[in-house]
Amino acid sequence: TQIPPNIKREAPNILVTGTPGVGKSTLCTKLAELTGLQWLEISKIAKDYNCLEEYDEQYQCPVLDEDKLLDGLEEVMCKGGNIVDYHSNEFFPERWFDVVFVLRADNTTLYDRLTTRGYTGKKLEDNIQCEIFQTILEEAKSSYKENIVHELYSRTPEELQDNINRICTWLQLWFQDNQS
């Protein structure tokens, strides 16, 4: 089917998701440098747009005003050319993304990274469990077409480089396939 021109994006939107500490910002920083795509760090943008509401004591993090955040991002997402970085993914409109990468790490690696970050107690345990049960991967698979969801391990610098190469290759193909 023909896609109306106003829906066609000039460049793709990429979603990078995964448990906190799996390496999203590390990957996205490098990708943005290499590709010129815009890195949208959702937790930071939520703060800047005043989309954070009262503090959730149980999960030790602020509650996100999702509707306000989505409204604020709609225009930039329609243009395309964004790398969206967030630990959750189901509340974004499915139509925003051309591809979804779910970053993964093993428990010990993630444990070390999160303790270094200062996570302790329930917050630490919840995040480790989240990774063990592949919660974010399952969330992505049930929110987006399975053939656009890719799982990428990011435990070592070598894996980071492999992932960057893979995403850059994907991007080149997208531009080849979507030349106007």
Q: Where along the sequence are the contacts to ligand DAT (CB under 6 A)?
A: 18, 20-26, 113, 154-157, 159-160
Q: 161 or 169, CB closer to ligand DAT?
A: 161
Helix axes 135-143, 121-132, angle to 10 degrees: 60
User: Distance (Å, rounded) from C-alpha 180 to C-alpha 74?
Assistant: 23
Q: 12 or 20, CB closer to ligand DAT?
A: 20
Closest distance to ligand DAT from the beta carbon of 44 (Å): 11
Q: 150 or 155, CB closer to ligand DAT?
A: 155
Closest distance to ligand DAT from the beta carbon of 26 (Å): 3
CB 53 within 8 A of CB 62: yes
Closest distance to ligand DAT from the beta carbon of 154 (Å): 4
* DSSP type of residue 147: G
Which residue number is nearest to ligand DAT in terms of Cβ?
23
Closest distance to ligand DAT from the beta carbon of 23 (Å): 3
Q: 23 or 80, CB closer to ligand DAT?
A: 23
User: Distance (Å, rounded) from C-alpha 81 to C-alpha 84?
Assistant: 10
Burial of 73 (0-12, 13-18, 19+ CB in 10 A): buried
